C-alpha cells in the first residue's frame, strides 16, 4: 500500500477554508511572534506579539458584558 493509494486511511482529502476556520476556532488558536529591530548589534525596538483566537459560546463565555439593547 502506497501513500498515493486512495483506499488508505490517510488518503489526501480536500478541506474548505470555512471548515478549516471552524475547526481552528472550535479548539482555539494561539499566535505568537517576536520582532526585533537591530542595528550594529544594538537592539533598538523589540515587539512581542501574542494573541489567542477562539470562538465564544455557552461553554466559553465572552469576557466582556453583553451590550444593552435599546428598547
The 10s digit of each residue's pLDDT in 16-62 is 888 877 877 777 788 899 999 999 989 899 999 998 877 777 776 77
Q: How many helices (H) and strands (E) does the chain have?
A: 1, 2
Give the integer Cα–Cα distance in Å for 55 and 6. Answer: 34
Domain membership flag for residue 2: no
Domain membership flag for residue 26: yes
Domain membership flag for residue 28: yes
Domain membership flag for residue 3: no
pLDDT given for residue 38 in this prediction:
93
pLDDT tier at 67, thresholds 50, 70, 90:
confident
Domain membership flag for residue 9: no
Domain membership flag for residue 25: yes
Q: How many structural domains comprise the chain?
A: 1
pLDDT tier at 8, thresholds 50, 70, 90:
low
- Determine which helix (DSSP H) or strand (DSSP E) holds 23, and give its type and residue range: helix 17-27
Amino acid at each position: 500500500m502506497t501513500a498515493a493509494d486512495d483506499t488508505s486511511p490517510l488518503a489526501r482529502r480536500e478541506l474548505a477554508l470555512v471548515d478549516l476556520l471552524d475547526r481552528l476556532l472550535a479548539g482555539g488558536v494561539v499566535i505568537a511572534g517576536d520582532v526585533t529591530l537591530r542595528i550594529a548589534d544594538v537592539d533598538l525596538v523589540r515587539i512581542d506579539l501574542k494573541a489567542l483566537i477562539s470562538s465564544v459560546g455557552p461553554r466559553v463565555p465572552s469576557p466582556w458584558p453583553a451590550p444593552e439593547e435599546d428598547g
